[in-house]
Amino acid sequence: MKKLLLGLIILLATTFAFGQSNRAGIIQVGLGGGIALGWASVEFTNLNLKNSETQNGVGVAGNFNVRGQYGISKKFSAGILLRKDWGAFSVSENDFEDSFEMLVSTFAFGFEGKIYLINKDKFNLNIAPSFGYTTGSTETIDYNPDLNGGASGLNYGLTTGINLYFGSSSKYGMSADIGFTGSSLSGSFDGVKDNEYKIKGANFYIGLGFSTRF
């Protein structure tokens, strides 16, 4: 029993050593993916008639992302976020059709900062606000007629994340994030000059990834 307790103490001391996983000058790089579920809306505007109508529904999206952080101090780091998203928005009932879906494929880039609540050698807990720009394409399904278009605008988020590093070098590990993401995009359908649309989304996000630091 004493040997077991001693082993646990040594393990904890090794995992939560006196160093910091983030500090001034350190670089952290991550590759990951995630899924977002939540609310979305599309506002269609007829430029000739000067009227608009908003259709509400639900949205789901998956992404692949690359993240880089540069340590400013033990408590703060800042960096960039690159993300490829594939999403779908579904309207169950509206004035134009019984139902339709809009598929969205976008590329996003932006800035992300991290505030470290816990900062140990092999473990950190952080809060990460982010904002950036999104651009991509849209496609309607079961819409009469089906249309293709483009959309671009702002993205933003606020997540809570952990990083856990392994091994004697503590250079490689895994990350997990949970929180809120949103976007506000605008665009128009190809070949349709008198109509515009705005897509807004607010989602619950969860993600996993691999990370390294040097």
Closest listed residue to residue 182, CA positions, set 39, 43, 57, 84: 39
Closest listed residue to residue 134, CA positions, set 65, 193, 37: 65
pLDDT band at 9 (very low <50, low <70, confident <90, very high): very low
* Residues 6+ away with beta carbon under 8 Å from 189: 138, 147, 148, 149, 195, 197
Residue-wise burial string across 150-166, b where 16 or more C-beta atoms lie within 10 A, e elsewhere: ebebebbbebebebbbe
Identify the burial level of 189 via C-beta atoms within 10 angstroms of its C-beta, where 0-12 means exposed, 13-18 middle and 19 or more buried. Answer: buried
**Least confident segment among 11-15, 132-136, 168-172:** 11-15
pLDDT tens column, 89-107: 887 655 555 567 889 999 9
Q: Per-residue pLDDT averaged across 116-132, rounded?
A: 93
The whole-angstrom distance between residue 192's C-alpha and the CA centroid of its chain comes to: 31
Give pLDDT, residue 71.
Answer: 93
Report the alpha-carbon distance of residue 173 to residue 162 in Å, rounded: 10
pTM of the model: 0.80
Give pLDDT, residue 144.
Answer: 61
Report the alpha-carbon distance of residue 26 to residue 111 in Å, rounded: 17
Provide the sign of the torsion angle of the four alpha carbons 145, 146, 148, 151, taken in this order. positive
pLDDT tens column, 45-78: 887 777 888 888 888 999 999 999 999 999 999 9
Give pLDDT, residue 3.
Answer: 52
**Least confident segment among 10-14, 63-67, 101-105, 206-210:** 10-14
Give pLDDT, residue 1.
Answer: 53
Question: Between the CA of residue 11 and those of 1, 5, 71, 174, what are the distances in Å?
Answer: 15, 10, 27, 18
Instruction: Give the tokens for residue 24.
Output: 């001034």
Show the domains of the chain with their CATH numbers. Answer: 20-213 (2.40.160)
Give pLDDT, residue 90.
Answer: 83
